[in-house]
Amino acid sequence: MKLGLLLPITFLFGSISWRFILATLYLPNFKQWTTKQLIQPLVAIHLFRYISISLLIPGMTTAYELLPYSNLVRLAGGDIACAFLSMITLMAFHRNWKSAMFWVCTLSVVGLSDLLMATLFDMPIFIANLEEIDARLFGLLTTFIPLVFVSHVFILRLLWQYRKEKKAGYNLRDEKIIAS
């Protein structure tokens, strides 16, 4: 077996694990929450995306040696943008801004674009150089990044549910939504 396959396989296991945790432990316990209430903890996960600033510190992880500096800046910039957007989104929810769901959508577009670019441009380099990746970077790629990905999937699902309910004319402030 090629060592390069270990990274995608562990990412897949991480994604499946987080999906099970969120779907079996999180969602069933919050059946009486509205869609907006369900989205907030998922948005909060993205507050911690600032940790990719560590990619810009020489010697902190092997990403600094493996990726071109422009890729590191893009990765850190995308994650900082997501952390900032999650702060704005949570503040919008807290203050009951009408634009809260707009901020959720913006976070989703920026976050998923960032993940797509990392998958297309950086993951092949990591896979080709798997033996040079240190444990910190490997752990980040196989535990935290899958959580970020799965949270985006759940957020998109909830946004779709919110859109359908809004289109159907539900009063989303008072109506309790059952998460399926």
Token duo for residue 168:
């159907």
Token duo for residue 33:
């929450």
For 108-156, the pLDDT digits (tens) are 999 999 999 999 999 999 989 988 999 888 888 889 999 999 999 999 9
Q: Residue 41 pLDDT more than 70?
A: yes
For 66-116, the pLDDT digits (tens) are 999 999 999 999 999 999 999 999 999 999 999 999 999 999 999 999 999
**What CA–CA distance (Å, rounded) separates 153 from 175?**
23
- Terminal CA-to-CA distance of the chain, rounded, Å? 39
Q: Which residue has the higher pLDDT, 19 or 68?
A: 68
Q: Which of 68, 51, 70 is nearest to 60 (CA)?
A: 51
Tell me the mean pLDDT in the region 60-69. 93
**What CA–CA distance (Å, rounded) separates 76 from 118?**
11
Report residue 176's pLDDT band, with 50, 70 and 90 as the boundaries. Answer: very low
Cβ(76)–Cβ(55) under 8 Å? yes
pLDDT-wise least confident of 48-52, 53-57, 170-174: 170-174
CB atoms within 10 A of CB 69: 10
